């Protein structure tokens, strides 16, 4: 099957990476076989610095990035170390302060993100785990200090991540859903992880904006891949929305088709099927 695909967009963790959280050789070879003829967009809850090394391995450093689940959409132009920013949506610092206050007295590690700045409260188990996964080193700074810095600089958070025991995360999620139903999107990427983003953003809306603004096209011929709740809108909006077979049931239900699981190169296999008649 060979179709004129206008772009490919994929989630990273649980979708594109193998069991070692790396890009497989098959995935790298398949993406490079596209020869940069169509945009290949990575869309993730990760910060940009945690995605750039994957872009380098795939040979797509000049393609757009959807970071923080759509809260920060950028593109690096060759020869320039500063990205072009197409969209940037932050959680207001007053709400960030309220989130941090909820974690006081609890065994919860709170990471605060703005662009490529990642502030962690300590180099604890949770921080070291994230550093190993993302290959990014955090800046150790107390959340209260970060909040004061952001108040001075007029900044907010592109993402807040709370990590801790499941019961503690349950409590914080309930409280945030009750207090900020119109402001925050609270996403459990794992039972022990709560990733908090502005309500207004999504991977799907970011992808739609990229395709219209940069390429003058709709999502009709875009092929997208995902596995988790934050991928649902992107799969629904894309002409070809594909779930890896290890995806959550809700994602499988909205996908137009299902490919092999992430650890069996499902993304690479679907690209070969649609783009190379393989």
pLDDT tens-place string over residues 8-55: 999 999 999 999 999 999 999 999 999 999 999 999 999 999 999 999
pLDDT tens track for 252-261? 999 999 999 9
pLDDT for res 278? 65
Q: Using an 8 Å Cβ cutoff, are 231 and 251 in contact?
A: yes
- Single pTM value for the model: 0.94
How confident is the model over 114-129, as a mean pLDDT?
Answer: 96
Average confidence (pLDDT) over 162-183? 97
Q: What is the mean pLDDT of residues 228-236?
A: 96
Mean residue pLDDT of the chain comes to 95
Copy the structure tokens of residue 203: 């991977």
Band of pLDDT at residue 4, cut at 50, 70 and 90: confident
Confidence of residue 186 (pLDDT cuts 50, 70, 90): very high
Q: Which domains are assigned to the chain?
A: 7-88+202-275 (3.40.50.1000), 93-198 (3.30.1240.10)
Q: What are phi and psi of 111, to 5 degrees?
A: -105, 135
- Of 43, 29, 27, 31, the closest CA to residue 5 belongs to 31
Q: End-to-end CA distance of the chain, in Å? A: 8
């Amino acid at each position: 099957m060979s179709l004129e695909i206008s772009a490919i967009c994929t989630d990273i963790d649980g979708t594109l990476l193998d069991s070692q959280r790396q890009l497989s050789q098959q995935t790298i070879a398949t993406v490079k076989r596209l020869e940069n003829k169509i945009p290949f967009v990575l869309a993730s809850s990760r910060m940009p610095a945690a995605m750039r090394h994957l872009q380098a391995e795939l040979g797509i450093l000049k393609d757009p990035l959807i970071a923080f689940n759509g809260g920060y959409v950028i593109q690096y132009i060759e020869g320039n170390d500063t990205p072009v920013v197409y969209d940037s949506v932050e959680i207001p610092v007053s709400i960030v302060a309220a989130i941090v206050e909820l974690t006081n007295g609890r065994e919860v590690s709170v990471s605060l993100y703005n662009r490529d700045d990642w502030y962690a409260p300590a180099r604890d188990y949770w921080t070291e785990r994230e550093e190993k996964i993302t290959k990014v080193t955090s800046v150790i700074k107390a959340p209260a200090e970060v909040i004061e810095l952001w108040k001075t600089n007029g900044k907010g958070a592109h993402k807040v991540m709370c990590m801790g025991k499941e019961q503690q995360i349950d409590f914080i999620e309930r409280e945030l859903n009750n207090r900020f139903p119109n402001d925050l999107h609270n996403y459990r990427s794992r039972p022990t992880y709560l990733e908090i983003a502005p309500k207004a953003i999504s991977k799907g809306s970011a992808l739609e904006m990229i395709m219209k603004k940069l390429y003058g096209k709709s999502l009709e011929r875009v092929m997208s891949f995902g596995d988790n709740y934050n991928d649902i809108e992107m799969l629904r909006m894309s002409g070809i929305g594909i779930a890896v077979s290890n995806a959550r049931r809700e994602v499988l239900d909205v996908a137009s088709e299902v490919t092999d699981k992430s650890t069996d190169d499902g993304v690479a296999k679907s690209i070969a099927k649609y783009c190379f008649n393989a």
